[in-house]
Amino acid sequence: NEDLSVDFESLTKLVDYNIENGTGYLVVLGTTAEAATLSAEEKKQVIKHIIKVNNKRVPLVLGIGGNNTLEVKKQIEEADLSEFTAVLSVSPYYNKPNQEGLYQHYKMLASTGKNIIIYNVPSRTGQNVEAETTLRLAREFPNLFLIKEAAPNILQYFDILRKKPEGFNLVSGDDEYTLPVTLAGGAGVISVIGQAYPKEFSTMVQLAFDKKVEEAYEIHNKLVEITRLIFAEGNPCGIKVILAEMGIIKNYLRLPLIAASEGLHAKIKAEMANI
């Protein structure tokens, strides 16, 4: 909201819009949700609100991550996960552990016995969870059943998909890579642009599952330019432009994030007309 309070009305509209247009599951308190600038109490309110609005229509995943392993483990153990299928947990950021440290971090989270999705996003964390580290974790801990992979090198995704053990899979954490990664055997995407175009994006993923390559690439090519634009000044300022233009949300952000520049806003609005 303009007073920077949590906009529950828009949140309701966004959840309904996504579910009604083919989104397969929702991630609660992810990066795009501006979880980093929510208080502990606000996070509880957002969780409660989404559970209520969702009303068991689609599976829910809860974001719980950080760079203090013991604290993240404690939060996972203490969270009421009765309405959630899994926890999405970003790899530790800022303190930049090496590969053994990353392995030990997720090993400790796996000890909670909860279903956990590894999340590798080096552009935000400053450290890449290498393919061999992911595969080592996947082989040893069945409850680490999925990775949201957002490494800049697409070959890393292919390495994991080629060598992964049975029962483990990968979803793209990069909207632009979603189609090639899904065609290579990935399990889809946890998407940013998909929040604004859930029907198109979920159709593209389903076409990829069905190996209808040409039809899938038609949608990919239609969305690729706007996908690049929404990340031009950081996430989620770009996606909020689209959703606000669609009348689903209001375009306010909490510091240190700020709204997209007038120039970017105009470019996004112009590209929306092509979709």
> Does the active-site annotation cover 17?
no
Q: State both tokens at 269.
A: 């609005």
211 part of the active site: no
**Which among 43, 148, 164, 240 is annotated as catalytic?**
148
In this structure, is the dihedral angle defined by the CA atoms of residues 57, 7, 250 and 178, taken in order, positive or negative? Answer: negative
| DSSP symbol at 189 | B
Q: Which tokens in the block code for residue 135? A: 């595969």
Whether the CB-CB separation of 189 and 205 falls below 8 Å is answered with yes
DSSP designation for 259? P
The greatest distance separating any two alpha carbons of the chain, rounded to the nearest whole angstrom, comes to 50
Give the type of residue at 27.
V
Sign of the alpha-carbon dihedral angle for 245, 121, 189, 178: positive
Q: Which burial class, exposed, middle or buried, applies to 246 when counting CB atoms under 10 A from its CB (0-12, 13-18, 19+)?
A: middle
Report the alpha-carbon distance of residue 19 to residue 16 in Å, rounded: 5
* Residue matched to tokens 């392995």: 103
The encoded tokens of residue 109 equal 């989270």
Q: Which of 104, 148, 105 is nearest to 124 (CA)?
A: 148
Instruction: Tell me if residue 172 falls in helix, strand or coil.
Output: strand
Catalytic choice (17, 103, 106, 119) = 119
Q: Under 8 Å CB-to-CB from 148, ≥6 apart: which residues?
A: 88, 117, 118, 119, 120, 121, 171, 172, 173, 190
Catalytic residue numbers, as ranges: 119, 148
